Amino acid sequence: MDFKNKSIISLRDLTKEEVEFILQKSDEVKSDKHPDALKDKVMASLFFEPSTRTRLSFESAMISLGGKVFGFATQDSSSVSKGETLKDTIKMVTGYCDVIIMRHPLEGASRAAQEVSSVPIINCGDGSNQHPTQALLDLFTIKDKFKKIDGLNIGLYGDLRYGRTVHSLSMALSHYKVNLYFISPKILQMPDHYKLYLNQCGLKYFEAESLEEVADKLDVIYVTRIQKERFADPEEFVKVAGSYKITLNTLGMLKKSAKIMHPLPRVNEIDTSVDNTEHAIYFEQAHNGIPVRQALLGLVTGGIR
Amino acid sequence: MNDRPYKVFKIDNGTVIDHISSRMALKIIDILKVQEQGIISIGINFNSKKIDKKDIIKIENVYLDKKETDLIALLSPNSTINIVKDGIVIEKRKIDMPKEIEGIIKCPNPMCVTNTYHDCSTKFIVVRYDEASTILRCYYCERETPVLPMLIQ
Ligand SMILES: [Zn+2]
């Protein structure tokens, strides 16, 4: 499978074989099988919108395998704010690097950039559309923990309507024989077009409004934050957000082997008392961002084959 | 189209688009971008045997190709095309739904890259369609949208 020069824009573009290959390479990277995979490769890190976590994860991934990094962390520090078009910025930067990673507030920006780029582009988030490396590291974490993905019961919990990570993750999971449980308040349910997509992929999903209804079935609970902006009525927010929380009490309803994931940063949707239990794997999940991003950088620049 | 005295001029050469869903004629002229190309006769709200009310368009001396007339599927999938030369219908054509639409439609998502940068033109993938509506997915922002007349640029 040849990933050299392939851009990673959307989960939609990846076949199951490609996803599996990326997970396998990530596993190899995690066990130090590709020590100099990024030696002398140059990564341009273009953050038209700030995202410290994703940027640091990528930059550290690059540097620790021997690569070099340049770029900008916010839009103001580049010429974009002076009216230069996105495509012109990309055309210029492609002359200086082997790979571009970019985050942009506009949806579809990475796809548009890819059209004029002579080097591969890795999408680090385009508005509320896609964030493929997050979905891949989520998948990697599940596989790393359970040694399989098929057959698992996976609950997505919280804001399923606006949460980009749960959309990308459910698309990634559509390649596997999993049962999905969508647990959210009515107004934050998974959008219909994602449900339709999953239907077409032959995936089974169940919807619930409270964790209690399905808690004892779940192998994974993927928690996302419910944001205040989504509610017209602040009292309604307080009521809803208050009932969508993982605490030590919640853990009693779960299988002993169930794992709790979260894309981080978390506010108070998972109580810190949960952190030290066997169920919590969200910090490990965040750390898995490094090998997965290293594998992707290596694959698209040709350093890993 | 023989027994009813249409009030749209007969043409000897050009393209006739018939059985257009009622009130779609003007929008179809917009998507075909033929406004500047010679004489166009338009009939709106004719009685029809096949469909309840229909529109009809006759474009003189312009021979639209299949790729162009397939765009009509977005607004009126049951329209029919006749290509007329020297007073004779030389081709009766069906329209087929195109797989992709470049330009023509505007993405309804205000956060879509195509709505901000002038050098990003639109592109849509036809996801599914039936008699009532056609659903497109923006190639860029991946949002799905039904084809609405207001989205035609
Ligand atoms: Zn769009």
pLDDT digits (tens, 9 = 90+) for B85-113: 999 999 999 999 999 999 989 999 999 99
- The answer to whether A65 and A36 are in contact (CB under 8 A) is yes
Q: Which among A107, A130, A162 is the top mutation candidate for probing chain B, defined by the most B β-carbons within 10 Å of its own β-carbon?
A: A107
- Both B89 and B113 in a single domain? no
pLDDT of residue A76: 67
Tens digit of pLDDT for each residue in A202-236? 999 999 999 999 999 999 999 999 988 888 888 88
Nearest Cα neighbor of A299 from A12, A97, A53, A98 is: A98
Q: Domain residues for B22?
A: 14-94
pLDDT tens digits, residue range A164-217?
899 999 999 999 999 999 999 998 999 988 998 899 999 999 999 999 999 999
Number of folded domains that form chain B: 2
Q: What is the CB neighbour count within 10 angstroms for residue A272?
A: 10
Confidence of residue B7 (pLDDT cuts 50, 70, 90): low
Residue A111 and residue B113: Cβ atoms within 8 Å? yes
Residues for chain A: how many in total? 305
B108 and A CB contact within 8 Å: no
Q: Per DSSP, what are the bridge partners of residue A107?
A: B112
Which helix (H) or strand (E) is B92 found in, with range? Answer: strand B88-93
Residue B146 three-state SS:
strand
Cβ separation B117–A126 shorter than 8 A: no
| Residue at B8 is within a domain | no
Look at A115-119, B32-36, B75-79 and tell me which has the smallest mean pLDDT: B32-36
Same domain, B127 and B59: no
Q: Map out the domains of chain A with their CATH numbers.
A: 11-130+287-301 (3.40.50.1370), 132-285 (3.40.50.1370)
In this structure, the answer to whether residues B65 and B124 fall within a common structural domain is: no
Residue B88 maps to a domain = yes
Do B111 and B73 lie in one domain? The reply is no
- Judged by a CB distance cut-off of 8 A, whether residue B12 touches chain A is no
CATH number at residue B74: 3.30.70.140
Under 8 Å CB-to-CB from B34, ≥6 apart: which residues?
B40, B59, B62, B64
Nearest to B140 among A105, A112, A128 (CB): A112
Q: Determine, yes or no, domain membership for B62.
A: yes
Q: Is A128 on the interface with B (CB under 8 A)?
A: yes
Instruction: Tokens for B48, please give them.
Output: 């029809």
| Cα A130–Cα A133–Cα A137 angle in degrees, nearest 5 | 125
CB–CB of A160/A182 below 8 Å? yes
Q: Which residues of A touch B142 (CB under 8 A)?
A: 10, 12, 107-108, 129-130
pLDDT in tens, A55-97: 999 999 999 999 999 999 988 655 555 567 899 999 999 999 9
Task: Note whether A121 contacts B: Cβ–Cβ < 8 A.
Answer: no
The pLDDT value given to residue B1: 47
B54 with B84, same domain? yes
**Amino acid A57: pLDDT:** 96
Q: Work out the burial of residue A156: count CB atoms within 10 Å of its CB; fewer than 13 is exposed, 13-18 middle, 19 or more buried.
A: buried
Helix (H) or strand (E) holding A291: helix A289-301
Answer yes or no: do B120 and B52 share one domain: no
Q: Using alpha carbons only, how large is chain A's radius of gyration in Å?
A: 19
pLDDT tens-digit map of B19-74: 998 888 998 998 888 888 889 999 998 888 777 789 999 999 999 999 999 999 98
Q: Do the domain assignments include residue B6?
A: no
pLDDT at B10 (0 to 100)? 86
Give the domain-ending residue among B50, B66, B94. B94
Answer yes or no: do B141 and A127 touch at CB < 8 A.
yes
**Local confidence band at B4 (pLDDT 50, 70, 90 cut-offs):** low
What distance in Å separates the CA atoms of residue B105 and residue B138, rounded to the nearest whole number?
A: 10
pLDDT band for position A158 (cuts 50, 70, 90): very high
On whether both B84 and B115 belong to a single domain, the answer is no
Examine residue B82 and state whether it is found in any structural domain, yes or no.
yes
Q: Does some domain include residue B130?
A: yes
Residue A248 is predicted with a pLDDT of 95
Question: Is the CB of residue A63 less than 8 Å away from at least one CB of chain B?
Answer: no
B46 and B117 together in one domain: no
B74 and B47, same structural domain? Answer: yes
Rounded to two decimals, the ipTM of the complex is: 0.90
CB-nearest to A108 from B118, B138, B144 is B138
Tens-digit pLDDT profile for residues A267-294:
999 999 999 999 999 999 999 999 999 9
**Tokens (6 digits) for A256:** 């002993």
Contact residues, chain B, for A10 at CB < 8 Å: 142
Do B73 and B111 fall within a single domain?
A: no
Question: Is B7 a domain residue?
Answer: no
* In a shared domain, residues B90 and B104: no
**Is the residue at B124 inside a domain?**
yes
**Taking CB atoms and an 8 Å limit, are B117 and A193 in contact across chains?**
no
**Phi, psi angle pair for A234, to nearest 5°:** -60, -30
Give the CATH number of the domain where residue B109 resides.
2.30.30.20
